[in-house]
Structure 1
């Protein structure tokens, strides 16, 4: 398969590396002038979680192919889009005219209704998913991150094109990944966005994610924020699954302690969070978009979020 990764970011680089190792042809689209700035290699220092929850260390200089121009007559089979959700509208303006016949794998946070979010792209060519990885680029341009075995993907029954869905599934399986299937990917996106908003708001209040993870009680406070936001999913027209509803009714302290142990332990998720913050790859302003967007939507729909409103000064 010939694959175009949009941008040379953390997610694009790590999954692009895995795809190329599995025998696929991978190229990166970068903005004009960035090809010389980046250079022809990516220095990797990542944890590969496909065979171990702790991750297998990968340290190598990986030569990559980049291009600064796009053509509607390209021969890419797949275009992978994974950018900050608040940048996606600008990305669509760049890539929209050049999609051609390629399948689009959307590997992104989403808070809007799906057709609105991807307006300008052909819905019938989109497969909806989300990565299980992250990290950042250090000051010396080294990619410090990691990815897990599983990715999140809509089911074939919900895909606009079952044949495109099958090809994406085969790509990931061939590269050694497994799947967390989402029957309603729209609601999953919204719930995941709420998780991000709760953690981001609490982390900004505590000064950093590192400070947040020092205490199960602080993590529990983030859980309470998330729980308060859940009615927004219903207000937006979604239906919360029974499993999610039951899990979120567990004592916040219990959930907070479990999340605390996971994020403080010797695991790929813990390493991803530590490396993401240490490299400052995602700014405080970027994190603040999550609670800001949730609060704006709540006010629009008339949903009361007193806990989040009380913290607005930390992320406005």
Structure 2
């Protein structure tokens, strides 16, 4: 069976590695600038596997087939989309043109993208799954992951209308062969929505949202240079919570109005707030500290006094 992992992150690479061990022909889609390096060096995976009740540590180089573009005449049976949900807006137009006859499996923490997917793919082209077995982070270009051995950890999958189709059953068989504990759900959308917050909490307890919003409220300063613009809105920022709880690598994902020169003042204020944040509760997977990405909004409103 030929499987494409669309997105070379922790979840995609770990599942891809396990599927290749189970006999699948696995390829990974990477950015053009990464292709040569990944082909040459492979993907280093440092894994703690808890499935056999005792912890088994592995340090391997995963060397899948590497591609940097997808053609509509591809011969993949499944395309597993394991990218960040925020990237779907750019991925879906590409998949609508290049998925071909492959079954697309959305392997993400989705809860509000179902109608968006329908704009680009036919219902029979895709279904959903959730990578509840794997967690971890990246460090020094290596993947540090854990495969769960908890009783209730599994890989739920299913069609959004609840039907048990041949493509779902076939993926179930290969996931089972890879010991990734698949479970076919006839209410996968309900499962995804219900477990959205739960899964986020298991990945990293970090900081409660009310406390985060209160910290921002107490420390935010509307940029004086922007007062005349009377601009209000949200800046979306992504940070990495380091293993010791430090907030690092801030990245502005969406600003208020990038067309305006004053927009930069709002972004600078967000970065200032992040620079003075206290340490958060670090993320962990099976008691192993891991780096975790976290995305949140910072809202700016005009001062009233």
TM-score by length of 1: 0.63
Q: Show structure 2 runs of 5+ residues with no match.
A: 216-239, 246-280, 301-305
Aligned counterpart, 1:164: 167
Aligned counterpart, 1:87: 87
In the alignment, is residue 276 of structure 1 matched against residue 285 of structure 2? no
| In structure 2, C-alpha distance between the alignment counterparts of 1:142 and 1:157, rounded to whole Å | 34
Aligned counterpart, 1:26: 26
| In structure 2, C-alpha distance between the alignment counterparts of 1:43 and 1:106, rounded to whole Å | 24
- CA contact under 8 A between 1:154 and 1:184: conserved in structure 2? no
In the alignment, is residue 152 of structure 1 matched against residue 155 of structure 2? yes
Superposed displacement of residue 22, structure 1 = 0.8
Question: What is the Cα-based RMSD across aligned positions, in Å?
Answer: 3.2
Superposed displacement of residue 82, structure 1 = 1.0
| In structure 2, C-alpha distance between the alignment counterparts of 1:70 and 1:210, rounded to whole Å | 35
3-state secondary structure, aligned to 2:28: strand
| In structure 1, C-alpha distance between the alignment counterparts of 2:63 and 2:88, rounded to whole Å | 27
Inter-CA distance 14–108: structure 2 relative to 1 (3 Å threshold): same
| In structure 2, C-alpha distance between the alignment counterparts of 1:181 and 1:74, rounded to whole Å | 27
Inter-CA distance 113–63: structure 2 relative to 1 (3 Å threshold): closer
Structure of larger gyration radius? 2
Aligned counterpart, 2:11: 11
| In structure 2, C-alpha distance between the alignment counterparts of 1:125 and 1:159, rounded to whole Å | 15
- CA contact under 8 A between 2:162 and 2:188: conserved in structure 1? no
| In structure 2, C-alpha distance between the alignment counterparts of 1:128 and 1:165, rounded to whole Å | 9
Q: Which has the higher helix share?
A: 1
| In structure 2, C-alpha distance between the alignment counterparts of 1:106 and 1:197, rounded to whole Å | 17
Aligned residues: 229
Aligned counterpart, 1:136: 137
Inter-CA distance 51–197: structure 2 relative to 1 (3 Å threshold): closer
Aligned counterpart, 1:202: 208
RCO comparison, higher one (Cα < 8 Å, 6+): 1
Superposed displacement of residue 159, structure 1 = 4.4
Aligned counterpart, 1:193: 196
Inter-CA distance 126–42: structure 2 relative to 1 (3 Å threshold): same
- CA contact under 8 A between 1:72 and 1:100: conserved in structure 2? yes
3-state secondary structure, aligned to 1:33: helix
Superposed displacement of residue 147, structure 1 = 2.0
Superposed displacement of residue 158, structure 1 = 4.4
- CA contact under 8 A between 2:163 and 2:186: conserved in structure 1? no
Superposed displacement of residue 9, structure 1 = 1.1
| In structure 1, C-alpha distance between the alignment counterparts of 2:118 and 2:83, rounded to whole Å | 13
Superposed displacement of residue 125, structure 1 = 2.3
- CA contact under 8 A between 1:50 and 1:177: conserved in structure 2? no
TM-score by length of 2: 0.65
Q: Show structure 1 runs of 5+ residues with no match.
A: 213-259, 293-311
Aligned counterpart, 2:231: none
Inter-CA distance 174–97: structure 2 relative to 1 (3 Å threshold): same
| In structure 1, C-alpha distance between the alignment counterparts of 2:146 and 2:3, rounded to whole Å | 21
Aligned counterpart, 1:49: 50
3-state secondary structure, aligned to 1:143: strand
**Which moves more between the two structures, 176-185 or 79-88?**
176-185
Matches within 5 A, 1:84-123: 84-112=84-112, 114-123=114-123
Aligned counterpart, 1:124: 124
